[in-house]
């Protein structure tokens, strides 16, 4: 169904009668519950109702990435189970998903990086936020799926410039072949099956560490049951030594911070002080993030 607004798009489903004000503080919860309900319906149909030929037809109807809207929220879906991005149409830079706020926790350790690279651009939530709130930072977004890059303008992406670049490439190849380096490397790459193996291999993590500048930080978003994350966490510890995690209840996300260089013992009180300073300039729950850090 066509939709017309400041970043025009097409959405498979649209609730044009939804009052944005009604969603208010719970809008993202309503949206995620709506997606989850669709996913449950799809699973029920697959198990009890559809024939194999019908299933093939239904699967073919979902062409990822899919732009989906509900009220004020525009999202990018890899399938009904994976929400790649969620954007407020009236406030496109706002970080709506809790895990993206957690990934910005790197600011507690480096509040003004010169460069930030993002593997897995998606709808550009992190890229847009960094572009606006880190005006001295150059941002490079990398995505392997041209169809994702093709819908970038529908998510109000900043115009390409000397400090904002979108690169069509496989993230695992990019970190090896691109000759530049970075202060912060954010890895948030998923496809319709989950996290691709090449983005969580020991070779990939070693390449990420080599790409980081002195005192650089790798930030990885994991999204799976806790037990399934353990092999990846072991690889990260083997490649980096010190890691810190933040668990995000909504979505089963675990955000990992891996530090290129050995650091002194982390002091939570100093991090609380850093959070208070950051919250003067960033609309993020920095103080809350400090309390969730585990090391």
162 is catalytic: no
- Note the pLDDT of residue 41: 58
Residue 216: which of 263, 281, 276 has the closest Cα?
263
Strand partners of residue 245: 256, 294
Cβ neighbours, 10 Å, residue 59: 13
Reduced to 3 states, what is the DSSP secondary structure of residue 224?
A: coil
| pLDDT tens by residue, the chain, 295 residues | 333 345 543 333 333 333 333 334 477 777 777 766 765 555 444 444 544 444 444 444 555 678 888 889 999 886 655 677 899 999 999 999 999 999 999 999 999 999 999 999 989 999 999 999 999 999 999 999 999 999 999 999 999 999 999 999 999 999 999 999 999 999 998 766 667 889 999 999 999 999 999 999 999 999 877 778 899 999 999 999 889 999 997 668 999 999 999 887 899 999 999 999 999 999 999 999 999 999 9
Q: Which domains does the chain have, with CATH numbers?
A: 2-88 (no CATH), 98-292 (3.40.50.150)
Give the Cα separation of 200 and 147 in Å (integer).
23
121, 125, 128, 131: CA torsion to nearest 10: -80
Pick the catalytic residue: 145, 188, 191, 203? 188
What pLDDT sits at residue 34? Answer: 72
Instruction: State pTM to two decimals.
Output: 0.82
Closest by alpha carbon to 82, among 37, 39, 125? 39
């Amino acid at each position: 169904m066509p939709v017309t607004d400041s970043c025009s798009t097409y959405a498979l489903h649209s609730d044009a009668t939804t009052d944005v004000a009604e969603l208010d503080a719970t809008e993202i919860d309503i949206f995620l519950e709506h997606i989850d309900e669709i996913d449950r319906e799809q699973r029920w149909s697959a198990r009890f109702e559809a024939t194999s030929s019908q299933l093939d037809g239904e699967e073919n109807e979902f062409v990822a990435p899919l732009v989906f809207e509900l009220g004020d929220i525009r999202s990018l879906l890899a399938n009904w189970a994976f929400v790649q991005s969620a954007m407020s149409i009236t406030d496109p830079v706002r970080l709506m998903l809790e895990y993206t706020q957690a990934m910005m926790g790197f600011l507690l350790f480096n509040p003004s990086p010169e460069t930030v690279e993002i593997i897995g651009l998606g709808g550009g939530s992190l890229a847009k936020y960094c572009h606006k709130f880190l005006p001295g930072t150059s941002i490079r977004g990398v995505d392997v799926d041209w169809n994702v890059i093709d819908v970038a303008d529908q998510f109000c992406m900043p115009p390409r410039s000397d400090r904002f670049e979108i690169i069509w490439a496989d993230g695992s190849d990019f970190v090896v072949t691109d000759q530049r380096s970075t202060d912060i490397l954010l890895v948030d790459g998923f496809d319709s099956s989950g996290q691709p193996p090449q983005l969580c291999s020991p070779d990939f993590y070693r390449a990420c560490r080599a790409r980081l500048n002195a005192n650089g930080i790798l930030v990885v978003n994991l999204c799976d049951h806790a037990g399934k994350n353990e092999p990846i966490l072991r690889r990260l510890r083997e490649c980096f030594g010190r890691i810190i995690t933040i668990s995000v209840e909504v979505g089963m996300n675990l955000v990992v911070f891996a530090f290129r260089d050995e650091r002194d013992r982390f002091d939570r009180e100093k991090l609380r002080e850093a959070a208070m300073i950051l919250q003067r300039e960033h609309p993020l729950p920095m103080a809350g993030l400090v309390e969730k850090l585990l090391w």
